[in-house]
Chain A
Amino acid sequence: MEMKATETAPLAMEWRQKKSTKPKSERFFEGLIKAGGYSSIVLIGAILFFILKESFPFLVGAFDFKNFFFSTNWNPASVNNVSYGILALIVGTLCVTCLSMLIAVPLGLATAFYISEFCSPRLRETYKILIEFLAAIPSVVWGFVAIMMINPMIIKTFNVPIGLNILNASIILALMSLPLIVSVGEDALRAVPDTYREAAEALGATRWEVATRVLLPAAKNGLLAAALLGVGRALGETMAVLMATGHSIQIPKSFFDPARTLTATIAAELGESPKGGEHYQALFAIGLVLFIISLIVNVTADHLIRGRKK
């Protein structure tokens, strides 16, 4: 190709004449980036694959749908009466999750309201740092707090024999999922355009009215997503719940009964079950159940948040 550099350039300018083709290294790195991009899909697939793989013999063998989901008899280590019923574990998980959300969702959303609508910027920064701090406390420390602090408090306050029970775990879980609920809820409220607030205030609405009649409907989906993500967090929490719920596989009759969750069961029993045995495979099957539940919760929450953006 005929090439002319401008006359003012007395230098060789070899670089200017060079017709570029994409160098090999560039292709290599772009391939790497693309592979990295797909890594999350691969990993999610791999998680599903390996959990299925490990639980497969159980799922095609001893697994009985009705017994698995509707029997309260979880007795995998028994010599002659082996039974894999996870109903009690599901109920335990549900109890802990529901109670913790009863505490955390109203508290979390109210806090989100307060921080996003009423706080001075300086106070907001302080609270945000505190939220980050709350979120940074690892679950094993929460479990420790449950045992050493909440446990005696419950025993003293309610005059019950043990303080490691559903109530304890719910309090801990509520505290653990609050940061997530508050920050997602605050994002949802902040996403409501300021023009909404100004328009309502111009009409003479008080802040209470703005909050309940304008912001709440406008940020409804986002707030719901915040609650749902909190649920996801509570469902999946392991160590703190393992330490706080006490150890008792039964359908609880009150909040002061100990219980066992799906996650805690895996954590407590996998180490003792022989690799490749039926018990071991059954625990992977519980993992599969958890995986599917978390998938549903997260996809729904994402759907709600995306719906808001449209």
Chain B
Amino acid sequence: MFKPSIHLLNKEIRENNFKGALSIMTFFLFLPALIIMFWLFIKGLPVLSLDFLLQDPIRGMTAGGIFPTIVGTFWLVIISVLVSCPLGVLAALYLSEYAADGRTTRIIRLAILNLAGVPSIVHALFGLGAFVLFLRMGTSILAASFTLAVMNLPVIITSTLESLKAVPHSFREASWNVGASKLQTIRHIVLPNSFPGILTGLVFAVGRSAGETAAILFTGVAFYLPFLPQSVFDQCMSLSMHLFTISTQVVGVPEAYPYATALVLILLILSINSISVLLRSYFRTRRKW
């Protein structure tokens, strides 16, 4: 009968220890996320109600609800995506369909990478210098949305690029072969078939920008506004900023309020992300090739 030597046994024990240690570590890594979620639910849920969502904050933000912040976040996110989506898709189209793999492409890729890596507070400074002051938008929804759009651009470019590359090259060749131009091929072959991926990436970017705070800090978001924004040139409140304000700047806020605000913010982002996940699986079942 085969009898493992001591050496081999040691090896096996070490191997199991190794695997066990890694799995425990990984588990502990994700534990905080679960705990945080649980804890926000426990503390925030009692306050969370339709009234909380649909009322204005009152008495110096120590009572009432968070309605204007939700409206503000909505404005910011929608306008920023309206700006960054076309630009991001165009940029990805250029990289995947037009650019040769040369020096320029390399520089563009580096620029995208750096754009993604620039700290959000530096984006805020840029937004202040470029949109608020230079383009004279003032501190407004427009300026804040543009700043968010610049931040989102690399995210959208990267995800769009991935979906464009997932369309087989042979489809493009087949289309060119029968006399379709490059642009017709993009319009009739590439875009329709990468649309699901582009949309998924876009929704994901929306979720990301809904939670952003630093980038909109000086460009268009107010601590407190007694009215809802009437146009894109008004300032607005935002959910993320409101959480910052009531948890650090205002005294006398009932303890549950910031919890409930954080919970709403997280749930909002999670539901946007789930839409993205659902879209992905929905389109997967309807794949055409």
Contact = CB atoms under 8 A, between A and B. Distances in A.
Touching chains A and B, CB distance < 8 Å: yes
B119 A138 contact: no
A54 interface: yes
B108 A136 contact: no
How many chain A residues sit at the interface, stated as a range, is 35 or more
Interface in B235-289: 240-241, 243-244, 247-248, 258-259, 262, 265-266, 269-270, 273
Contacts of B26: 110-111, 114-115, 127
Contacts of A53: 129, 134
Nearest to B263: A141
B108 A50 contact: no
Interface in A221-251: 229, 232, 235-239, 243
A297 B117 contact: yes
Interface string B90-101: 110111011100
B108 A271 contact: no
B214 A136 contact: no
Contact of B94 (A34, A237, A294, A298): A34
A291 interface: yes
B25 interface: yes
Scoring A40, A54, A229, A232 by chain B CB atoms within 10 A of each residue's CB, the highest score goes to A40
A3 interface: no
A175 interface: yes
A141 B153 contact: no
Q: Is the interface of A mostly helix, strand, loop or mixed?
A: helix
B125 A114 contact: no
Interface string A26-48: 10011011111111110110110
A208 B15 contact: yes
Contacts of A40: 91, 108, 111-112, 115, 153-154, 157
A30 B183 contact: yes
B117 A147 contact: no
Scoring A38, A138, A182, A237 by chain B CB atoms within 10 A of each residue's CB, the highest score goes to A138
B183 A26 contact: yes
A269 B264 CA distance: 28
Interface residues of B, number: 83
A185 interface: no
Nearest to B43: A148
Contacts of B94: 33-34, 36-38
B244 A302 contact: no
Interface string A124-158: 00010011111011111101110111000000000
A136 B270 contact: yes
Closest 4 CB pairs between A and B?
A: A138-B211, A36-B90, A37-B94, A236-B119
Interface of A: 20, 22, 26, 29-30, 32-41, 43-44, 46-47, 50-51, 53-54, 107-108, 110-111, 113-115, 118, 127, 130-134, 136-141, 143-145, 147-149, 175, 178, 182, 206-208, 211, 229, 232, 235-239, 243, 263, 266-267, 270-271, 275, 283-284, 287, 290-291, 294-295, 297-299, 302
10 contacts: A37-B108, A40-B153, A41-B108, A137-B33, A140-B211, A140-B265, A143-B247, A266-B121, A291-B122, A294-B119
Given A20-B181, A34-B98, A36-B86, 6 more contacts: A30-B183, A35-B90, A37-B90, A107-B29, A175-B33, A182-B29
